[in-house]
Structure 1
Amino acid sequence: MKVLVTGAKGQLGRALVATAPAGAEVHAVGHADCDLTDAPAITALVHEVAPDIVINAAAYTAVDKAEGDEETARAINADAVATLVAAHPGKLVHVSTDFVFDGQSSRAYRPDDSRAPLSAYGRTKAEGEDHLRPADLLLRTAWVYAASGDNFVRTMLRLMAEKSALNVVADQIGAPTWATGLAKTIWGLVGKDASGTYHHSDAGVASWYDFAVAIQEEARAMGLLTEMIPINPITTAEYPTPARRPAFSLLDSSKTRELLDDGYTHWRLNLWHMLREEKALG
């Protein structure tokens, strides 16, 4: 099975390469290999590699920057998906986001729930989803992090080492997702020849404040931090950002778990695994 993976330098792209199953011939490409705003370059790459499957792990993920740069976000998050679909007759596995929802649900979002994005990032990701064919695979996820990546966990570790106290938003609710677990789920779905829409995030529920508290506790116990600092819960209104974020974006991944029969892993356990990797990296 020959697989083309885009976004190879990102958190998920690296995890996909690291967890690829035996027998998968992975061709991983990053921005330096192919500019996803360049449709002819995308088409040429797909024709050159001639993969059986394309996993599109690339995205414009600068949520706040996208508010003033929606054209570029659309080129990467939507137009590039259309180009991949046109160039590749086989299955496209596309990774999307909880930001396609408006956060008004009273329960975890199911794969077939209506979308109502609040931000430019969310709109462009929803547009990308609309380019997929029935035989393609769409997997939505949320709050992704990994060792050595640019993410909330590593930002918190840095700030906890630098600051005497932190304020963290406590009224946005979801669940973190370890990139390694997400990658394994993608490969599992590929192995099942799944198509349609699925969700994946780690089990459990958290606010960003809950997540920050857990990061500090686990990192201190592991020796990544030398002392504990106060972490204060604040509201979204007290921390305004250019992009509106869903207040509630928990994803229902029961369809995914039932298909793969792999059980649920709580986000705090995966946080512990990630921090062990972070410590090993020095």
Structure 2
Amino acid sequence: MKILICGQQGQVAQALQATLSGVGTLVVLGRDRLDLARPEHIRQQVRHIAPDLIINAAAHTAVDLAESEPELAFAINASGPGVLAEEAALLGAPLIHYSTDYVFDGSKPAPYNEADTPNPLGVYGKSKLAGEQAIAAAHAQHLILRTSWVYSSHGRNFLLTMQRLLQEKPELRVVADQIGAPTWAGSIARSTLALIERWQAGHAGAWGTYHLTNQGETSWFGFAQAIGNALREQGKPCAALLPIPSSDYPTPAARPSNSRLDCSRLQREWGVSQPDWQTALRECLAGQA
């Protein structure tokens, strides 16, 4: 099986490369070889490679920057995935695409399920929702996997930022009124592998949109506490943490206060579940050592 992975240096893309290495022939294209902002370039590359499966792990993920460059965000997050889906449909190849909790506004008091109506707050969420809609409109076999608060031992993310700041500063203020599930890129890659294996074995569930996060919930402050505790266990210095409201940390793009996603449908339809976020964090940190 030939698998095209769109994205090369991102957190999920790197985890996929490590996890799927034995599944088939991986063709991994970064932005220099597959630019999602260039539709005809996408078509040429996909038709040349003719993959059996396409996995799109590329995206414009700079949430605040997207507010000032909406055209680029929509090109990469909406138009590009739509073209990938159209080409996947022509090939008869499934498409796996990653989306986000930011398609919701966070006003629901309970975890969001796939039947809830999206209402994104900012450009990033709107562009990702438009990408979901473009993929669905192409009528390809597809899995849209919404995840949240992604981190890994590579790239730029909350885990690595906190590890650095907690060791550099005597005190750190972290938002405590946004709730979600920190999700390790390794868990996303493992779940993707499980989905591929079920599809290959003829045990695929329904195609469509699913939620995929590590289990449990916490705040950014709680996530920072867990990272700090791990540093202390290693005998490293750690700043004092102070919880603050979102209003004390204004950003160009508004964040949903509730990012919790109900992932039970993925378990029911595909038999795929994820570990709790604390277990996943320990696994990530153990691999980082």
Q: Is TM (by shorter chain) over 0.5?
A: yes
Q: Measure the CA separation in 1 of the matches of 2:80 and 2:286.
A: 35
List runs of 5+ in structure 1 lacking aligned partners.
Answer: none
* TM-score calculated relative to the size of structure 1: 0.94
Establish whether residue 207 from structure 1 lines up as the match of residue 219 from structure 2.
yes
Aligned residue for 1:80?
80
Contact 1:173 1:205 survives alignment (8 Å): yes
List runs of 5+ in structure 2 lacking aligned partners.
Answer: 200-204
Any idea what SS the aligned residue of 1:210 has?
A: helix
Aligned residue for 1:270?
280
Aligned residue for 2:33?
33
Kindly provide the CA deviation profile for residues 139-185 of structure 1, in whole angstroms up to 9, marking residues without a partner as x: 00000011122100000011011111000000000000000110111
Any idea what SS the aligned residue of 1:139 has?
A: strand
Contact 1:112 1:197 survives alignment (8 Å): no
Contact 1:219 1:275 survives alignment (8 Å): no
Any idea what SS the aligned residue of 1:277 has?
A: helix
Instruction: Output the amino acid matched with 2:108.
Output: S
Q: Structure 1 stretch 159-168 or stretch 88-97: which is displaced more?
A: 88-97
Q: Measure the CA separation in 2 of the matches of 1:84 and 1:21.
A: 22
* TM-score calculated relative to the size of structure 2: 0.92
Aligned residue for 2:49?
49
Q: How many residues are aligned here?
A: 277
Contact 1:257 1:264 survives alignment (8 Å): no
Aligned residue for 1:230?
240
Contact 2:216 2:276 survives alignment (8 Å): yes
How big is the alpha-carbon RMSD for the aligned residues of Structure 1 and Structure 2?
A: 1.4
Q: Measure the CA separation in 2 of the matches of 1:277 and 1:22.
A: 20
Q: Structure 1 stretch 180-189 or stretch 10-19: which is displaced more?
A: 180-189
State the 1:106 CA deviation. 1.5
Q: Structure 1 stretch 189-198 or stretch 126-135: which is displaced more?
A: 189-198
Aligned residue for 2:116?
113
Any idea what SS the aligned residue of 2:255 has?
A: coil
Q: Measure the CA separation in 2 of the matches of 1:234 and 1:246.
A: 16
Q: Measure the CA separation in 1 of the matches of 2:20 and 2:246.
A: 38
